Structure 1
């Protein structure tokens, strides 16, 4: 990293993405004023600190969901206080709901999945 202080701030974000970071927290962590830190971070990284944090959280969340984590677990591990808030942020970022990335939900076979659920329900009803 071209700027050691910004590198330390990014390391802190990556080590604890679930923490409720503020620009002030990150600036204090690297012993810089809030305004100078925000300006320098944006210059070095190409985006504002909290925008970077959100993008990193969404990247982690997508990886968690693709590997089978639940929406609730991804939400918690990425620092969101509620599944609803996380789902809204995820949908804004990726233009799809978080459930759409889960490996158990394959949109190309969504109709097949619905049909198998109906078939299973029919079999259960005939057995009872």
Structure 2
């Protein structure tokens, strides 16, 4: 009996490949796609706690913290919470805004390349399938 292909492993391989492709395209800006996403979400939220940002991005808090560390170390984001306040409140700094402006055209180019490679019909089908897969875990797409 022939075994069926594992959907999860295939999806993870594709995600890793696509992540590497985006990371290579964003290298000129000096950030990864995960960092770009964090900056873009933070800009959209204007300010957020780490928990709020993690929820918005649908990431585990610990994963997000790993992505935020280099951004904070490089002064692209800063903590504006009061001293001894338990929840950090993050905002983009002016240099973070500049970085995002530099990275946005690179990200747009990558998006266009992926869409061209797959074709619009397949991209739309893929997005629908991904949305359905997220619903398995109780998530709804808000992006």
Q: Normalized against structure 1, the TM-score is what?
A: 0.33
- Relative to its length, the structure with more strand (as a share) is 2
Higher radius of gyration, 1 or 2: 1
